[in-house]
Structure 1
Amino acid sequence: MAACADARLRCGTSARQKGPIVALSGQGRHALRRPPRWHWLLLLLILPIVAASLLFEGWTTHEVDGARHRRACTSPIPRSADNGDPVLRVTGKGAETAQMPFRTAALTFDGGPDPVWTPRLLDLLRARHARATFFLYGNQAARHPELVRRIRDEGHEIGSYTYTGGDLGSASHLRSHWELALTQTALAGAADVNTRLLRLPHTTTADTLCGAEWPAARRATDQGYVVVAATARSRKPPLGVVRQYSHTALGYQEAKQLLADPNVGQFTTVTGGLGRPSLTSTASLAERAQGEALMWTQSVGHTFARSMTWALGIAGGLGMLRLVLLALLARVHVRRRRRHRSGAPGLREVNDPVTVLVPAFNEEAGIEATVRSLLASTHRDLQIIVIDDGSTDRTVEIARGITDPRVTVVQQPNSGKPGALSTGLSYARCEIIVMIDADTVFEPEALHRLIQPLADPTIGAVSGNTKVGNRRRLLGRWQHLEYVLGFNLDRRMFEVLECMPTVPGAIGAFRRDALLAIGGISDDTLAEDTDLTMALWRMGRRVVYEESAIAWTEVPSSLRQLWRQRYRWCYGTLQSMWKHRHAVVEVGPAGRFGRRGLAYLALFQIVLPLFAPVVDVFALYGLCFGDTAQAVGVWLGFLVIQLITAAYALRLDHERLRSLWALPLQLFFYRQLLYLVVIQSVVTALLGTRLKWHRMQRAGTANQHLLKEPDPQPSGLSSK
């Protein structure tokens, strides 16, 4: 096995390298501007508005404080009201009732206005030169104000049928009050009218105001309403009657028959038949303004609720589709790898020398474990370059203390990870470059397996399999599941679809000529690994995933550290997507990556997470006030599919299934944090705020039990 130092014609040399410690100068590019904060206030304002809109919509559909069904009668109406007369007012002395005069019929229509049948009823009444009383729903009046105005303009009388048609006898006192008050507000906004005529829903003749309906009727009359029932069907013209019809085909036919009855001499309104002044008045300017605001609020709430129903269905469908595709394409990936391992013609085993770049900034906790894991690798032909990026701790001292000629330490002022990698690349002597994080611990076979796909000359980079080392606590276990289910399973899918967006900074192999062809490691974004991978695709180089190349990394152990890390990742990914957006219209590998990879990232990592908080509020609303059994069933079904997919992913990664117990908790808490990270990142990107590199505090817990002392250094290797 030839070493890099003994193969300079193959690997090349660097005239700038003078020894294991080199000092360079440079400045970081990403200056800090404080990220915006006002959008959190906006989000905190939007979510209560969304919740209020949903609650109002649920109230109008009887899902909140439901008054959908009438209670059974337990007591009759008072004797003073039980005389068959349909019009009554309750006073402290009892009930005052009234009936239509001889040969007079008052036509009344309950519900509506209905966009189909209300115009037909109005046409019928106009053709017969008749007047009627329309008891309207407040919410329907707000939805169809033009029909309310037509009813008014054609001389008909308008009454209240409550806002939603809720049963006032079974409704709470608060709901009863709002059922009547909101109807008045809606009528004022729709047609500039107020009314003191009321018909209680779920009632017909006066005797149906029994049980709990009678106290509700009395409360209404205390507010000045005249309650209108209907005349019993046994009483027929020419006796005076009040007929009750609906805004339906049946109501239309029944009204048409009565209008043709020769025994009726006059068809009139309720107050017209009684010879009383109209109980409909003109609304004030303030009442009209309130009514218009109510109509707008109801329209927005109704539209939002409907759109959220569709959005929840679409989001759930896309989530399910994603999980199914991940599992199916992972299976395809496994089969392809089996065929490849059984002997792909024309591909050799790669034993070429490798340069490993280890950028380090204040990594004293883990730098020794990282370097020694590399030295213990079964791939011995190595050049390890530790680039100290202005550390203020013992990183350099510890790295220099590893007395192995394969290790070179380069020092420079702090300039960020891209700058450190660029510096390391300028000192690399081999044609295969492996880039890792300074907290990554390699398994002995990982490095050799990582570079094997490079036997195919069309491949420009290889992603390794990153595993979470510090997974004992709940936050670490959540990230472990995310790495296995979200990252590694995704990478299998990306390889099959030829659109791998990121070779992770923790473990990735590259061809040196490919890196130089794209101009090296750019510091245009905060996700240099994503930017680099996308640039390789646009150059026509393929990127693949090698799941057997396993490295252990330390993940954030606190929510603050996790937020900072994911904020940088997400923000950098947005920067990279924008930088390489033209790949969508390009051809060849670049076009496939753009139309598949960028589209996937935009949909599943940006758009859906942006709407996730609102969708979650809607889902919570459905759970609390909608069909709870259905909502729970849907959620459990989704959870089962998640668990099955996660179990398959863990099996593919040779991980234990006992971690699955944390998945339901991850759905409730962990993902909400990631959604908020996306929102923060998008706002930061839209405002053009420059974000500095957020470094995680290391504890050196990246599975150090894997480490062992390296074998003696083979002869011929040098750090010079």
Structure 2
Amino acid sequence: MTTTTPSRRRRRAPTRIERVAGKAAALQKPRVILAGLLLLALTSVMLLDGYLRAEVGGDQRVRTGASSGKVPDKVLDGGPILTFRGGRATTVSVPDKTIALTFDDGPNPTWTPQVLAILKKYDIPATFFVVGSMVSRYPSIVADMVDAGNEVGIHTFTHVDLSYQSDARVNREMQQTQLALAGAAGITTTLFRAPYSSETDAIDNYSWPVYKKLGEDGYTSVFVDTDSDDWKRPGVSKIVKWATPDDGEGASVLFHDAGGERSQTIKALPKYIERMRAKGYTFTTISGAVQKQEAAAGGQAGGQAQGGPNGQPGGAGAGAGTSNLQAAHRTATGATLYEGKALIGAVAVAEWTVPVLSVGLLVVGVAVMGRFGMMLILARRHYRQRNRRRFSWGSPVSQPVSVIVPAYNEKECIANTLESLARSTHPIEIIVVDDGSTDGTSEIARTAARELGMTNVRVIRQENAGKPAALNNGVRSASHDIVVMMDGDTVFEPDAVRQLVQPFADPAVGAVAGNAKVGNRDTVIGAWQHIEYVMGFNLDRRMYDLLRCMPTIPGAIGAFRREAVLEVGGMSEDTLAEDTDITIAMHRAGWRVVYQEHARAWTEAPGSLKQLWSQRYRWSYGTMQALWKHRKSLTDKGPSGRFGRVGMPLVVIFQIVTPVFAPLIDVFTVYSMIFVDFRAALLAWFAVLAVQLLCAAYAFRLDREKYRYLLMMPLQQLAYRQMMYLVLIHSCITAMTGGRLRWQKLKRTGEVGTPAGAGR
């Protein structure tokens, strides 16, 4: 055993990366905050959009109840307009030969403009009871509606039956709709019609407290005398017939300008107007009908009245007394106006954002499923090619090779690493490069080699310069033409080196990737990483190998032609993913890079979420650095340009772009469960999980792994996958903001021992 030790320790000047790293470290927290704010903004936008679209779709009576003495008889028998003057219920009827034309459930971008055009043609006004969520989505239609002289009332914000809602929910439905009207048309209103209501005699003990409360807040509740039932789509003639009052009576008549397909309503409306005019009827708004009735009664409320003199109802931004009835609209001012405009603006953003995200989801979904399909097909083809009886790399490679073990503070693991190499079935020399360890790694390595009787071990100490420098030192010191590189916390199976070097029988092969296995897989975090490793090595790498564009030789187990390493300038310090960097460089130099699945090494995966985040953050960021460094490979010509033409796009799409946007799948799944169809969304999620389980099971079959670890996969999809997405997003933000990272040493326990043969 030979030992090389520097005669004097000198303090190394920090590299450019390390100098910038100090500044970058101070920026990490703001970047995390920025990522969190972006996620919060996206969540808020989708919640808003879902809330806006969660209204009930059709006119169906969702609750009914019998009347009792709690509802005054004069209200049940009274007119369709209900107020609470002086705290007492008062009803007003529409005067004879008068139609108060009303429309529910709008605005709708298809049908409402057609209704407005008809009203303009016949020069008549109407009262529209609008749904606040629809007002927020189509504010310009409401503005046109008001500008044309029509009246608007509230039909709740989400078209919900208020009968069994809490007071807080009732207030929220009203206030949100008032804000929507303020933002859309600059007004508030005192008119209200409850969803699923009809005539006053249908008021029951459940809905009466709601009308009473709203009346005390200054709202006028509007019911119907005559219902066209146009939502049933019975035909134009029946709609006209059903909307016609009996014997010249006045009526509050109900049509719909939204909530479904309304082509029959559009055809029936002109015929109805012409028919009623021929009968001597005039058209007015709800407020106009009340004003006309009061004028006919000498200023006193007509119809069926239950109370005494006019009171002073408050709330809703309304005035007092009869002016509340004569002029339902109020000009929105102050906070109400600005909050309303803010609501309309937020909805506009949501209306634009969610469709864009939906398209992104479709693209991501197609890419993810396409990737799964491609991996399965190509992995199977790769397996069948490599396991044919006649398959051979060429003449068996039997000459000795150099194994380079870079080590920095690996006291827990280095002895196990050397013990595994002592069992190698292939002749090797071992070069341990101690990169300035402070925990006695080099002494432990010497002692272990001595106790194992290993005479083929050299321990080289160097000033701390980083892993790339340690590997380069090892390559320069290697005695053989083939060098195997491994991590100081990794153990090899006895046959690993022999299997790993066989592809070098092909003179075109410059590097070989081995099969890294997770040794500490009996914890939840370890099991998750075990699934990830098995899928990555047995599907991803097989696919890339078959396409001849392998992106990475893993640091845990990889082999290189020494001349190839020297040709591309050795391990570079330009990136944090020196393994990806040199792999791409070798592709560009014309060397072939292959995968040898039978060469297995066992590594200790991070044991905590914090360490896992740190490791994957460095990996993903380093990969981005390497891809950016070799971006010109996209224009490389000839065989050496294959990675740029095939590998670079695949890595960017599958390892960066798709994972960054993959959280859309989870976000839209939750969105669909809450606002669309819980069962369908859940089934879709299970379908995607089933596809992933199928891919994982096939990868486990190829590697002869035990399927019991797949029981952890559903939990992996709920927790681990989201963490990996956040890591990648964090790395992307770091890259876009110009930050740099330095090598991060993970805490090791040394629990991964030397495997016995190919044991699992």
1:84–1:205 contact (8 Å) kept in structure 2: no
> 1:567 matched to which residue of 2?
617
| Correspondence for 1:535 among 585, 592, 595 | 585
Q: SS state of the match for residue 426, structure 1?
A: helix
Q: 1:585 to 1:511 in 2, by over 3 A?
A: same
> 1:149 matched to which residue of 2?
143
Kindly provide the CA deviation profile for residues 230-287 of structure 1, in whole angstroms up to 9, marking residues without a partner as x: 2235733632222211112232233212211211342222222332622112211432
Deviation at 1:626? Answer: 4.3
| Correspondence for 1:273 among 289, 304, 311 | 289
Q: 1:663 to 1:451 in 2, by over 3 A?
A: same
Deviation at 1:508? Answer: 0.7
For 1:104 and 1:68, the matched residues in 2 are separated by 28
| Correspondence for 1:257 among 265, 268, 271 | 271
Give matches, 1:541-620, under 5 Å: 541-612=591-662, 615-620=665-670
1:105 aligns with 2:73: no
2:492–2:755 contact (8 Å) kept in structure 1: no
1:141–1:190 contact (8 Å) kept in structure 2: yes
Residue identity matched to 1:256: P
| Correspondence for 1:114 among 108, 113, 121 | 108
> 2:397 matched to which residue of 1?
350
- Could you tell me the percent identity over the aligned residues? 43
For 2:60 and 2:3, the matched residues in 1 are separated by 81
Q: 1:332 to 1:257 in 2, by over 3 A?
A: same
Kindly provide the CA deviation profile for residues 161-220 of structure 1, in whole angstroms up to 9, marking residues without a partner as x: 222222222433322212211111111111111211122221232223335233222222
2:509–2:593 contact (8 Å) kept in structure 1: yes
For 1:393 and 1:516, the matched residues in 2 are separated by 31
For 1:707 and 1:395, the matched residues in 2 are separated by 27
1:115–1:144 contact (8 Å) kept in structure 2: yes
Kindly provide the CA deviation profile for residues 483-524 of structure 1, in whole angstroms up to 9, marking residues without a partner as x: 111344211111112221100011111112211221111111
1:665 aligns with 2:715: yes
For 1:667 and 1:265, the matched residues in 2 are separated by 66
> 1:367 matched to which residue of 2?
414
Deviation at 1:151? Answer: 1.7
Residue identity matched to 1:330: A
User: Structure 1 stretch 45-54 or stretch 424-433: which is displaced more?
Assistant: 45-54
| Correspondence for 1:430 among 454, 476, 480 | 480
Deviation at 1:545? Answer: 0.4
> 2:430 matched to which residue of 1?
384
| Correspondence for 2:6 among 23, 27, 41 | 23
Question: C-alpha root-mean-square deviation of aligned residues, in Å?
Answer: 2.7
Deviation at 1:417? Answer: 0.5
- Larger RCO (CA within 8 A; separation ≥ 6): 1
User: Structure 1 stretch 432-441 or stretch 207-216: which is displaced more?
Assistant: 207-216
For 1:422 and 1:257, the matched residues in 2 are separated by 90
For 2:353 and 2:155, the matched residues in 1 are separated by 25
Residue identity matched to 2:383: V
> 2:439 matched to which residue of 1?
393
> 2:72 matched to which residue of 1?
78
User: Structure 1 stretch 171-180 or stretch 417-426: which is displaced more?
Assistant: 171-180
For 2:346 and 2:60, the matched residues in 1 are separated by 23
1:239 aligns with 2:246: no
> 2:49 matched to which residue of 1?
57
> 1:716 matched to which residue of 2?
none
2:401–2:483 contact (8 Å) kept in structure 1: yes
| Correspondence for 2:348 among 299, 307, 319 | 299
Residue identity matched to 1:643: L
Deviation at 1:423? Answer: 1.0
For 1:457 and 1:697, the matched residues in 2 are separated by 39
Residue identity matched to 2:446: R
For 2:290 and 2:85, the matched residues in 1 are separated by 19
Deviation at 1:613? Answer: 5.2
Kindly provide the CA deviation profile for residues 97-127 of structure 1, in whole angstroms up to 9, marking residues without a partner as x: 2222232222112222222222222222222
Q: 1:473 to 1:156 in 2, by over 3 A?
A: closer
For 1:579 and 1:163, the matched residues in 2 are separated by 54
> 2:683 matched to which residue of 1?
633
Residue identity matched to 2:643: F
> 1:691 matched to which residue of 2?
741
For 1:649 and 1:104, the matched residues in 2 are separated by 77
Residue identity matched to 2:119: L
For 1:118 and 1:90, the matched residues in 2 are separated by 31
Residue identity matched to 1:439: D
For 1:673 and 1:52, the matched residues in 2 are separated by 20
| Correspondence for 1:177 among 163, 171, 175 | 171
> 1:123 matched to which residue of 2?
117
1:161 aligns with 2:171: no
Residue identity matched to 2:32: W
Q: 1:63 to 1:364 in 2, by over 3 A?
A: farther
For 2:505 and 2:725, the matched residues in 1 are separated by 40
Deviation at 1:428? Answer: 1.8
Residue identity matched to 1:459: V
Q: 1:53 to 1:622 in 2, by over 3 A?
A: same
Deviation at 1:384? Answer: 1.9
1:225 aligns with 2:219: yes
1:323 aligns with 2:363: no
User: Structure 1 stretch 195-204 or stretch 237-246: which is displaced more?
Assistant: 237-246
2:571–2:582 contact (8 Å) kept in structure 1: yes
Q: SS state of the match for residue 110, structure 1?
A: strand
1:70–1:170 contact (8 Å) kept in structure 2: no
For 1:139 and 1:237, the matched residues in 2 are separated by 39
2:131–2:158 contact (8 Å) kept in structure 1: yes
For 2:408 and 2:59, the matched residues in 1 are separated by 65
Residue identity matched to 2:210: A
2:361–2:664 contact (8 Å) kept in structure 1: no
1:308–1:615 contact (8 Å) kept in structure 2: no
2:55–2:160 contact (8 Å) kept in structure 1: no
1:208 aligns with 2:192: no
Q: 1:69 to 1:428 in 2, by over 3 A?
A: farther
1:390–1:412 contact (8 Å) kept in structure 2: yes
> 1:415 matched to which residue of 2?
465
User: Structure 1 stretch 184-193 or stretch 167-176: which is displaced more?
Assistant: 167-176
Kindly provide the CA deviation profile for residues 107-159 of structure 1, in whole angstroms up to 9, marking residues without a partner as x: 11222222222222222222222222222222222222222222222222222
User: Structure 1 stretch 696-705 or stretch 116-125: which is displaced more?
Assistant: 696-705
| Correspondence for 1:282 among 323, 327, 331 | 331
Residue identity matched to 2:252: V
Deviation at 1:414? Answer: 0.5
Deviation at 1:597? Answer: 2.7
For 2:74 and 2:31, the matched residues in 1 are separated by 63
For 1:374 and 1:581, the matched residues in 2 are separated by 38
Unaligned 5+ runs, structure 2: 227-241, 292-324
2:379–2:538 contact (8 Å) kept in structure 1: no
Deviation at 1:93? Answer: 6.7
Residue identity matched to 2:400: P
2:514–2:598 contact (8 Å) kept in structure 1: yes
2:54–2:675 contact (8 Å) kept in structure 1: no
TM-score (norm 1): 0.89
Unaligned 5+ runs, structure 1: 1-17, 709-720
TM-score (norm 2): 0.85
Q: How many residues get paired?
A: 687
Residue identity matched to 2:548: E
Q: SS state of the match for residue 355, structure 1?
A: strand
For 1:453 and 1:467, the matched residues in 2 are separated by 20
1:577–1:598 contact (8 Å) kept in structure 2: yes
Kindly provide the CA deviation profile for residues 648-689 of structure 1, in whole angstroms up to 9, marking residues without a partner as x: 211211211121222222222222332232233222222333
For 2:135 and 2:564, the matched residues in 1 are separated by 68
